[in-house]
Structure 1
Amino acid sequence: MNKVFALLTFYSAVLVSMPAFSASNLVYCSEGSPESFNPQITLSGTARNATAPTLYNRLLDFEPGTTKLVPSLAKRWEISPDNRSYTFELRDDVSFHSTAYFTPSRKMNADDVLFSFNRQLDKEHPYHMVGGGTYQYFQGMGMDKLITKVEKLGDHRVRIELSQPEAPFLSNLAMPFMSILSSEYSEQLQRENRKADIDMLPVGTGPFKFRRYQKGTSIRYKANEAYWQGQPAIGNLVFSITPDPSVRYMKLKKGECDLVVYPSPSDIAQIKSQSGMVLAEEDGLNIGYLAMNTEKPPFDNVQVRRAIAHALNKQAYINAVYLGNAELAINPYPPSMWSHNDEVAQYEYNPEKARKLLQKAGYSDGFKVTLWTLPVSRPYNPNGRKMGEMMQQDLAKIGVEVELVSYDWGTYLDKVKRGEHDMVQLGWAGDNGDPDNFLYTLFSCDSVQRGSNNSRYCQPEFESLIKRARRESDLATREQLYREALRVFSEDVPVIPIAHSKVFRALSSRVEGYVMDPFDVDNFFPLSVSSNRQQ
């Protein structure tokens, strides 16, 4: 048996089972299993919700429900006049989790910050290669090139040196991949030759402590009674892993779940009318798209990519898959974000124009291709299979024969990262309110090798524009650079933006304190549950 899962089984056996339902318990119906319990090495929203708001904190955070930066593990910070040096003063009252497998002997300090940053930054770090040495956010956002030094100035004082000014740097520090892990725990695991356990038996400073994980079934957490912001009202938090959105809704009706992620569009009307239920909704900071692998023929030909864009009836997908709860996408991020540009090349549904473009590209007889359909329900695509079938029918009209393929979520992401796909459905939810989080993370040359650029797109003019925008401090100049980058992007069409969807949560009226988050994160710390359970 794998050592990690052997340990998980052991800890499951020794921990006391949680009572079925009480006022201090909250059951969260999630959509899938996380790839890991360390947000440094994960990319999916599934893993983010299972780790960042539950187990960990960061130097900075976003005020719940907003894009406003607030202090977290760092009480305050100073920025040098040249914007290349950031000095942080850390809190001195923060404890790491005490669990069945680790008991801390000290409070969080600068050593933990250095460990958490340098694991991702330093290729010679003893933990860098644990899990394969790929840090998709950190590397895909260019943090490995940006950060030149992380220096301890005292037990609770840290300085970070940058190679150049970086406008979104502070916002990036509030993202899940910059969570602070325990250096002391890492030393224990290294002594015991169990370094890989740091990613599956987590220790953080967050409001909940990890108890146990049963893959594909559940994750159990316990309130961190020593949490530096105060003990959570929820004593036990359970993630009930339920991939089918209709099943999640039925569990909510039966009182088996208190909070449901991504309800099916077909259930929205019923949820609104049900007594004892509340529907929370917000315009999502997201994009659902179809990526074409530009490293593979025929998608290395821009005429083919434009043909595919003209062949897809995006409005039909919004009507049938999202049931109208989405907005037609033009750019790879929504109109609510600054620098959005609707004066770019747009590809109306036009099969005749698509066929002519294929002829021009030398594919008069069409071609065969695989299209990978999303295996889980995500807000940016609630039903990948149905959308895939509609895309398959649309592409058949222009002579493109499509085979639909899918895998379990973890395998799907891993294969896409390796570039094994032809066309693939994916999407993105913004993490920090900055266009850089979409354009650099998803479409830069750096992000091709790091695994977050699903189109494998690397274009010199586009690359120059988004890099200049990162270094620019003047907002108006940054906006103009991004608008120009979007023009180039739309002409090259490496991905076809499909929709910006509304984001929904369904919850029991027993749940109090819930606030929708612009980054599609569920914050459990502010929640409480009343004692009257709806039947």
Structure 2
Amino acid sequence: MRTKWHWLLLLLVVGVLALAAGCGGDDDDDEAAGTTAATTEGGDEATGGTLVFAGAADPVVLDGALVSDGESIRAITQIFETLVALKPGTTEPVPGLAESWEANDDGTVWTFQIREGVTFHDGEPLDAEAVCFNFDRWYNFSGPLQNPSATYYWQVVFGGFATYDKKSGAPEDSLYKSCEATDPQTAVLTLTKPSATFIPALSQQAFSIASPMALKEFKADKGTVDEDGVFSPSGTFGTEHPIGTGPFKFVSWTKNDRLVLERYDDYWGDKATIDELIIRPISDNAARLQALQTGEIQGYDLVEPQDIATIEGDSSLQIIDRPAFNVAYVGFNIALPPTDNVKVREAIAHGLDRQAVVDNFYSGRAEVATQFMPPEVLGYADDVPTYEFDPEKAKQILTDAGYTLPVALEFWYPTDVSRPYMPDPKRNFEAFAASLN
């Protein structure tokens, strides 16, 4: 259902998400921007025991190549790893399962040195052949797995597939050409053309390296894809045998109840400081907060802005801020009047008090955006023109352009959908309308 309003609006705000968690924290004064977390205050770093964490929903399937939703990716990150990682808090690529990499002169051939001494949770060694097996698996997806939603990240980064299915809607051309294991720990990836985003893209969980033996034995690619691009496996790799190299390994998954992971004691890096991680789906945000307050869970993500004051008022809880990742915006249909006129769009840019939106709806844990890229994301530019809040200037722009005030715009917003960074669209948009009036 959508509700119609007549008013002028432009919104571009870097929004906050939040994490509430019942685990130890410190009193560092981190900058409040972006995603936040609330934790119960604790002492020294926890060791052993079980951490129960609540997400907003169940994962779809525990296979990074076949999902794009946050709940799946959160769990997959604990079980699997990628060749390239990101330095915490930044978008700077750092070694992951690959210790190093280098390109040829034209950037089409990349040589990766695969970390030695790494094993999958099934005991199989990580080597260059395992890496190439994964890349060739993704490249050879066929039929319904070429659905643009089912293999979203592969198609965004690499494009097409080895065998092109015209019915799939997938792109025909691929950035990926081949992968060759030139020795046990050296994988050479060849691209069809240079790509500036190739290395940072490999940090996406869609390119998690899985055990080739498990992928084959448990029929990872068997299943169906519905009209929304959601993969439903008939094999058991992504539901009962997701085997990677990460700090936690799979124990069990009871749909709509809990996903249980345990520490992988043979992990190559810094081992987890807890024995067990349980991820539970609790769809209602108020219920997640209540579960945290009662000790039923020790953490949850996606804290809604209106709950931040409650959490901050509880000395046993802590909000943890992370860099902004979501951008809230309203788009114009520039094919229809009056927003087909650039002067109208410019007036709107000056007519909306976006700082008030940040202060009133995001508890100050956001910032006015100047572009679609959040500050911590690759591609953010510091020199983008900005439009200060100036209602009188907005009116003058419209008058000079020959408009009689007020100027009305038919505006649509959803009433049956909410997001943690905009839990009550109607309330938000009513405030925006008041600002523009």
Q: TM-score range by the shorter chain?
A: 0.5 to 0.7
* Aligned position for 1:288: 328
* Aligned position for 1:314: 354
**Distance change >3 Å, CA 142–CA 186, structure 1 → 2:** closer
C-alpha distance in structure 2 between counterparts of 1:217 and 1:356, whole Å: 59
| 8 Å contact from structure 1 (residues 148, 161) kept in 2 | yes
| 8 Å contact from structure 1 (residues 96, 204) kept in 2 | yes
Matched, 1:371 2:410: no
Give how far 1:180 is off: 0.8
Give how far 1:242 is off: 2.5
Question: What are the equivalent positions in structure 2 for 1:501-516 lying under 5 Å apart?
Answer: none
C-alpha distance in structure 1 between counterparts of 2:410 and 2:400, whole Å: 13
SS of residue matched to 2:66: coil
Give how far 1:174 is off: 1.8
C-alpha distance in structure 1 between counterparts of 2:69 and 2:141, whole Å: 25
Amino acid paired to 1:371: P
C-alpha distance in structure 2 between counterparts of 1:57 and 1:163, whole Å: 25
Task: Give the count of matched residue pairs.
Answer: 360
The alignment yields a C-alpha RMSD, in angstroms, of: 3.9
Q: Which has the higher helix share?
A: 1
**Distance change >3 Å, CA 68–CA 283, structure 1 → 2:** closer
SS of residue matched to 2:330: strand
Amino acid paired to 2:199: L
Q: TM-score, normalised by structure 1?
A: 0.57
Tell me the alpha carbon deviations over residues 223-266 of structure 1, each in whole angstroms, 9 at most, x when there is no partner: 22332226433221111222333332322221222223233333
SS of residue matched to 2:64: coil
Matched, 1:44 2:69: yes
Tell me the alpha carbon deviations over residues 114-157 of structure 1, each in whole angstroms, 9 at most, x when there is no partner: 2322333x3xx256744846422232235554333222323332
Give structure 1 stretches of 5+ with no counterpart: 1-21, 99-103, 400-535
Amino acid paired to 2:71: T
| 8 Å contact from structure 1 (residues 131, 196) kept in 2 | no
| 8 Å contact from structure 1 (residues 310, 353) kept in 2 | no
**Distance change >3 Å, CA 96–CA 23, structure 1 → 2:** closer
Q: Relative contact order: is structure 1 or structure 2 higher (C-alpha 8 Å, sep ≥ 6)?
A: 2
* Aligned position for 2:216: 187
Match of 1:210 among 244, 250, 261: 250
* Aligned position for 1:172: 201
Give how far 1:216 is off: 4.2
Amino acid paired to 1:259: G
| 8 Å contact from structure 1 (residues 115, 181) kept in 2 | no
C-alpha distance in structure 1 between counterparts of 2:258 and 2:113, whole Å: 37
* Aligned position for 1:29: 54
**Distance change >3 Å, CA 284–CA 164, structure 1 → 2:** same
Match of 1:274 among 314, 322, 335: 314
Q: Percent identity?
A: 24
* Aligned position for 1:343: 385
Matched, 1:139 2:155: yes
SS of residue matched to 1:239: strand
* Aligned position for 1:384: 423
| 8 Å contact from structure 1 (residues 373, 384) kept in 2 | no
* Aligned position for 2:260: 220
* Aligned position for 1:71: 95
Match of 2:281 among 228, 241, 251: 241
Question: What are the equivalent positions in structure 2 for 1:515-534 lying under 5 Å apart?
Answer: none
SS of residue matched to 2:180: strand
| 8 Å contact from structure 1 (residues 246, 263) kept in 2 | no
C-alpha distance in structure 2 between counterparts of 1:293 and 1:368, whole Å: 10
Match of 1:62 among 86, 91, 101: 86
Give structure 2 stretches of 5+ with no counterpart: 1-46, 161-173, 224-232
